[in-house]
Amino acid sequence: MDTRNAELGFSFDMGGLDRQALLLEAAGQFDLRRGHLGPDSRPLETPEGELARALLLDTAEFAAFPDVYRITDEDFLERHRSVPTRFKELSEDYSFYWLNVPILLRPQRNWAFNRLEVAIEFNPGDPKPHSRPKAYQILPAKKFQTLLEVSDSLEIGLDENFEFSADTGSLKAAPGPANVAATASAGVKLSGGLGLKAGKFEYHLKRAKIDHTAVGLEKVFWRLDGAEFFQEDAPALVVIAQVPRETTEVSVAAVLQAYRYFSWLSAGVQDAVEELTRSMRNFFKAGAPLRHQASWDLTPRL
């Protein structure tokens, strides 16, 4: 999937890069830099080399298959709600699916990822543009940025306009000297939990800067920046897909890249990086990014 021409794109081009080979080569150069040899005349391992080898064990990847759930009138009615007029109108020509894309994050050496970039695209390469699904609603979304600066947990639901909105009534202010007074239109108060897609559910996200492409497109690109992401802080990526009625096959291509701040490396490692080749320097200064690609055929779940 090519996002280079999109409004947003990946911070570092991993095209053709063998991350494992690069890290092993860098580790070897780091060890040679110290010039100390072991009894077998091989360079002794250095802290810089050990770090590069530890990064080989990083994990940042998608789940084997996303959660897919079709949204129908019953999702509203069984919650004693009126079916949103907007949903009724759009449902004449489209079906709607709740798509949750879990990701696994396992950074090494307790050195968290600080930036996550994710791109997904519906039916890439389809020669019939009018039949491609679109992203109707997405999470995380910039419209909740202010609220997430106050609390990393929001109650979000589908409101009467069939859009995600936050219930600010249960918002808990985060501790600290600079609590922001947040204002937002509260969503309809509903009963329910994570499994009730038309009801309220609790959404968690570390206080990160959120950026993404616009809704209503055949692809979504997210950039989450400025937080520390471990597995327990892995963001939930949610898309409500708007699928034309005549579309009988739906596939998704997805790409994930995870990065760290170069400035968090020790001074010794930063100095050692300066002596590497340009391509390796660029890789480390970009945050030693890790890339994972996946593709899913959602057709059996439609």
User: Residues with Cβ < 8 Å from 127, sequence gap 6 or more?
Assistant: none
Residue 173 confidence (pLDDT): 44
User: How is the chain split into domains, by residue range?
Assistant: 12-57+261-294, 65-258
> Could you report the per-residue pLDDT of 179-213, keeping only the tens digit for each?
322 223 323 232 333 344 566 777 888 788 999 99
Enumerate the β-bridge partners of residue 229.
Answer: 113
- Joined together, the tokens standing for residue 188 give 């309809």
- Joined together, the tokens standing for residue 117 give 């970039």
The H or E element spanning position 295 is: strand 290-297
pTM score, whole prediction: 0.84
Residue 192 confidence (pLDDT): 34
Enumerate the β-bridge partners of residue 104.
Answer: 61
CA distances for 164 relative to 21, 161, 216, angstroms: 44, 9, 14
* End-to-end Cα distance, the chain: 23
- Joined together, the tokens standing for residue 72 give 């129908």
> Could you report the per-residue pLDDT of 39-67, keeping only the tens digit for each?
555 667 888 899 999 999 999 999 999 99
DSSP letters of 83-113?
Answer: PPHHHHHHHTTEEEEEEEE-EEEE-STT--E
The H or E element spanning position 279 is: helix 278-285
Residue 236 confidence (pLDDT): 87
Give the residues of the chain that fall short of pLDDT 50. Answer: 2-6, 172-196
User: Residues with Cβ < 8 Å from 110, sequence gap 6 or more?
Assistant: none
- Looking up tokens 């579309």 gives 247
Residue 76 confidence (pLDDT): 87
Residue 4 confidence (pLDDT): 44
Closest CA to 139 of 72, 195, 212, 233: 212
The H or E element spanning position 28 is: helix 19-34
Residue ranges of the alpha helices (H) in 143-277? 145-150, 267-273
- Looking up tokens 């509260």 gives 186
- Joined together, the tokens standing for residue 208 give 């990160």
Enumerate the β-bridge partners of residue 115.
Answer: 225, 259
CA distances for 86 relative to 104, 131, 155, angstroms: 35, 20, 22
Give the chain's radius of gyration (CA, Å). 22
What is the number of alpha carbons within 13 Å of residue 172 lying toward its C-beta? Answer: 6
- Joined together, the tokens standing for residue 168 give 């600010």
Residue 199 confidence (pLDDT): 64
Task: Tell me if 154 sits within 8 A of 260, measured CB to CB.
Answer: no
